[in-house]
Chains A and B, each alone.
Chain A
Amino acid sequence: MRTDGSPRPGRRRRAAAALTLAPFFLFGLAFEVVPVLTLVRSSLVHDGAITLANFRRALTPVMLASFRNSVALSVTTAALGLVLGTVVAYALVTTRRRSVQRALTALADVTTNFGGAPLAFAFIVTLGSTGMITLLLARGGIELYPRFRIYSEPGLAVAYLYFQVPLMVLLVMPALLGIRTEWREAATSLGATAPQFWWRVGLPILAPSLLGSFLLLFANAFGAYATAWTLTGPDVNLVTVQIAALVRGEVQFDPALADALALLSLAVMALCVAGYQWLTGRARRRAA
C-alpha cells in the first residue's frame, strides 16, 4: 500500500534523489559525454571554422584501406559467427541431453569473455608456424604455411571467431527457444516440409534477432584492437590500429586527423549498436 500521507515533504525527497543521482551523472558527463563531444568538436573545426576538411584530409589512401580492411574483417567474422553460432545454438536447443546443453552454454559463457592478448597468444601456439594444429596437419600431409599465416588477416579472422561464435550462441539461444514446437507441429500437420517451415515461419520470426546479432558481432569486431595488435602488430592495417598509432604518436601527430578518424569509426559503431537496440526491442515486443 502506498502511504502518500507520509510526513516527508516531497521537496526533501527530490533533493535526496538528486543527491543519489548526481555522482553517476557527473561521472558520465566528465568521462563519457564531454570527452566524446570534445572529439566531435575538434574533428569538425579547422582554422576556427566548422568544416569537413579534417575528414577529407583524414581519408588518405592508407586510411581508406584501413576502413576497407576493418569492414571486411568485421563482415566476414560476423557472418561466419552468425552462421556457425546459430548452428551450434540450434543443436544445443534441440538436444535432449540437458547436461550437454548446460555444459556447453557455460563454455560459451566463459569463452566469450576471453580475448585480447592471451587469446592472440593462444592462437600463435595453436596455428603459428610451429603450432600444435599446424604440426598435426603437416603430419597428415597438409602444409598450412606459407599459404596461411596466423599473423595475417585470415589468421586474425580465425582468432576473432573465437569470441564471435560463443557470443552468437548466447545471443541467439533465447530467440531459438522462443520458436515453439507447437508451431512446428501445426505447420507439419498442415503439410509443410521442414524447409518450408523455416523459410515461411521460422526465419521471419528469427530475422530481427539474427540481424541485430549480426550488427552487434560486426561492432564487436570493428572496435577490437588488443587481439589484432598482439597477433599482427602494425602489419595489418585496421582502423583501430591506425587510431592507436596516432594516439601513441608513432606517426606524425596531427590531432584533428586522429579525431576525424575516431569520429568516423564511432559513427560506424553507433549505427550498429543503435540498430541492435532497435531490432532487439522489436523482437522483444513481438515476443510479448
Chain B
Amino acid sequence: MRQRALWRPLALGGFVAFMTVPLVATALFSVSTRWDRTLWPEGFTLAWWARVTGRAAFRDTLVNSLLVSLATVLGAALLVTPAVYASRLRAPWARPWIELLAIVPFGLPGVVLALSLIRFYGQVPVPLVNTPAILVAAYLVLTLPFMHRSVANALDAIDVRTLTEAAQSLGAGAGRALIHVVLPNVATGVVNGGLLVFSTAFAEFTLANLLVGSRFKTFPIYLVEFTRFDARQASALAVISFAIAWAASLVLMWAAGRSGAGREAVTMR
C-alpha cells in the first residue's frame, strides 16, 4: 500500500520542481551580486535591474513590443469575429475554409512563414518588407488559431441564430444585432483569444528577428542581445518576460473561471 501511494507525490513533486526551479533560479540570479562559486548567492543587489531598466533602449523595445502586440490583438479581433459570426449565421459554406486557414499556422514553422513573406513581398511593389506592418501581419497569421478557437467556442456556446433573429424581429439591423446582442455574449471569447494573442506576440522572437531585426527592435530581440554580453541584465529581462506571460495567463484563468468555460491551450514554438 505504501509503495502504491508513493509514486504520485514523486511524479507531481518532480513536475513542480522541473517547472519552477529554472524560473526561481533566473529571478534569484537577477538580484544576486555573485553566484557562480557558491550554492547560494553571495549577496543581493538591485543594481542589474536598475542598470538594465535605466537604458533608453529598454523603454523603446518595451514600447515597440507593446504596440505590435496590441495591434495584433486588435487586428485579430476585427478579422476573426465577424467572419466566424457570419459563418455561423448566414454562410455555413465558409466554415470549413475558415477552419482550414486557422489550422494551417500550426503546421507553419516561424522560419518558413518568415521566408515565405520575405519572398513574396520582396517581389511585389508593396512596401511591406522590413516594416513593423509585416511583423503584425505575420503575428496575425501565427495567432489565428488562438483567436479563432476562442471566438468559435464562445459563439458555439450561445445560440447565435436565435439571438440574432430575436434582435431583428425587434427591428434591429444585422449590424446592430451583432454589436448589441451577439458581441456582449462572445466578449469573453474575444478577451480570452486576445490575451493568448497578446502573450504570444509579446514573447515572439523568430519572426521579429527575421522580418525586421534591428530596424524595429522588440523586447525579445533586446533580451537575446543581452544574453550574449551581460547575463545578469539579461536575467532581469527574462524575469520581466516571464511575469508578463504569467500575468496574461492568470487573467485568462480568472476570466475562464468566471465564465465557467474551459479553453484549449495549444501553442507552437
Contact = CB atoms under 8 A, between A and B. Distances in A.
A247 B210 contact: yes
B229 interface: no
Contacts of A170: 265-266
Interface in B140-199: 140-141, 144, 165, 168-169, 174, 196, 199
User: A interface, by DSSP: helix, strand, loop or mixed?
Assistant: helix
Interface stretch (A57-65, A131-139, A180-188, A198-206): A131-139
Contact of A125 (B22, B119, B220, B241): B22
A153 interface: no
Contact of A115 (B91, B106, B269): B269
A223 B119 contact: no
Given A91-B11, A226-B269, A243 B25 contact: no
A216 B25 contact: no
A2 B164 CA distance: 10
B64 interface: no
A124 B35 CA distance: 13
Interface string B14-27: 01101111110110
A247 B108 contact: no
Interface in A226-280: 226-227, 229-230, 240, 243-244, 246-248, 255, 258-259, 262, 265-266, 269-270, 272-274, 277
A126 B19 contact: no
Given A118-B241, A135-B38, A266-B108, A113 B267 contact: yes
B18 to A, nearest CB: 7
A240 B220 CA distance: 18
Secondary structure dominating the interface of B: helix
Contacts of B20: 107
B249 interface: yes
Interface in B229-261: 231, 234-235, 237-238, 241-242, 245-246, 249-250, 253
Contact of A32 (B104, B224, B268): B104
Interface stretch (B50-58, B65-73, B109-117): B109-117
B86 A36 contact: no
A228 to B, nearest CB: 10
Contacts of B110: 223, 225-226, 240
A18 to B, nearest CB: 8
B227 A117 contact: yes
B227 A112 contact: no
A70 B18 CA distance: 24
B63 interface: no
Given A24-B98, A273-B107, A3 B25 contact: no
B212 interface: no
A135 B213 CA distance: 36
B117 A126 contact: no
Given A31-B117, A170-B265, A117 B220 contact: yes
A31 B137 contact: yes
B115 A262 contact: yes
A288 B137 CA distance: 38
Contacts of B138: 31
A7 to B, nearest CB: 10
A244 B121 CA distance: 17
Contacts of B120: 34-35, 38
A92 interface: yes
A85 to B, nearest CB: 9
Given A13-B90, A110-B246, A219 B106 contact: yes
Contacts of B206: 116, 225-226, 229, 244
A35 B119 contact: yes
Contacts of A224: 109, 269
B245 A244 contact: no
B265 A226 contact: no
Nearest to B36: A130
Contact of B8 (A94, A227, A230): A94
B107 A116 contact: no
B47 interface: no
A54 interface: no
Given A16-B174, A106-B253, A243-B112, 11 more contacts: A17-B94, A34-B120, A109-B253, A109-B265, A119-B22, A121-B231, A122-B242, A165-B15, A225-B206, A226-B204, A248-B213
Interface of A: 1-3, 6, 13-14, 16-18, 20-21, 23-25, 27-28, 30-36, 38-39, 42, 84, 87-88, 91-92, 94-95, 100, 104, 106-126, 130-133, 135-136, 139, 161-163, 165-167, 169-171, 216, 219-220, 222-227, 229-230, 240, 243-244, 246-248, 255, 258-259, 262, 265-266, 269-270, 272-274, 277
Q: Which 3 A-B pairs have the closest CB atoms?
A: A223-B109, A24-B83, A130-B36
